[in-house]
Every structure is written in structure tokens, then in C-alpha cells.
Amino acid sequence: MSNAMKVSGLVKALIKSSVETNVFLVNGVRLSGCIEKADASTLILVRDGKKQVIYRHAIATIVPVGQFSKEAFDSATDCAEQDTGESLLSGLVKVGDSINAFMLNGIRLSGVLLCEDDEMLLMSVPEKDQFQSVMKRAIATLSALD
């Protein structure tokens, strides 16, 4: 399984579970709903029976709302057995590290790095029992926590 498949595992798990999801755009706008479908360039978000197409290049983070467990994520992908591959990022942080990501819009995200690919990081936020997918193009700086 490629790293791209690991990160998209979160989206697959959200589609399968129909869990309420917040999608934060790079301009700071929050969209809420359930992800119905996804492809390489778009997501379809449904709220109150209305569908909205969201282009992935506009997405900063994807955050499940409410009850979404690691088991739900693990059923869609097996991230734990994969490594992050070769990148400049892997020289600074590795899977399992606690990290801070400062976004282009000024928001700080903190969590544990689960995996990464060319486009996204997958982080867990243990104290909230949440996962979030973070688009690399929306990150200004990234650092490991000591």
C-alpha cells in the first residue's frame, strides 16, 4: 500500500462511517457535513440533503466530529505497518512523533504524526481521540515537540 493510500484511508473511513466531519479550507472557512464520495481532486460533502463539491486544493484539514475511533480508521487502512518513505520531512520528524503544524492562515495544529505522503500528513489528536488529515500545501511551518 502506498503512502497516498494510507492518508486517503481517513477519507475512506469517514465515507464508510458517515460520521459528521469538519472540512477547514485554506482561507479558514469551516464546512460541516458527511463526506459521501471522494476522488483524486474533489470531495462531495452532504449537509441537510444538499451536496457540495470541495476541491482538495482548497482543503487545509479534515477533522471527524464526535465519535470516531482509531479502530474505524484501522479498518480502512493499515497505517501502523507502513513507513513514511523518503522526504525532507522524514529527516526532521518520524511516525509517532508529536508535532506542531502552523498553517498559512495562522492556526496551530498539534498532534502525533501517523503517516504522510506527497500531499498530506495524517495526525492523531490523542487528548480528543480525533484524527485529522492536513494538506502540506496549507502548512507554513512544521516542528517536532520535545
| Per-position pLDDT tens, the chain of length 146 | 444 544 577 888 888 888 899 999 988 899 999 999 888 888 889 999 899 989 888 899 898 887 776 666 666 555 544 444 445 566 667 788 899 888 888 889 999 998 887 788 889 887 777 888 898 889 888 888 86
For 40, the grid coordinates are: 483524486
For 90, the grid coordinates are: 522524514
The amino acid sitting at 101 is A
The amino acid sitting at 131 is F
CA-atom Rg of the chain in angstroms:
14
Whether this prediction's pTM lies above 0.85 is answered by no
pLDDT at residue 121, rounded to an integer: 86
Could you give the C-alpha distances from 45 to 32, 90, 140, in angstroms and in order? 8, 32, 26
SS3 call for 40? coil
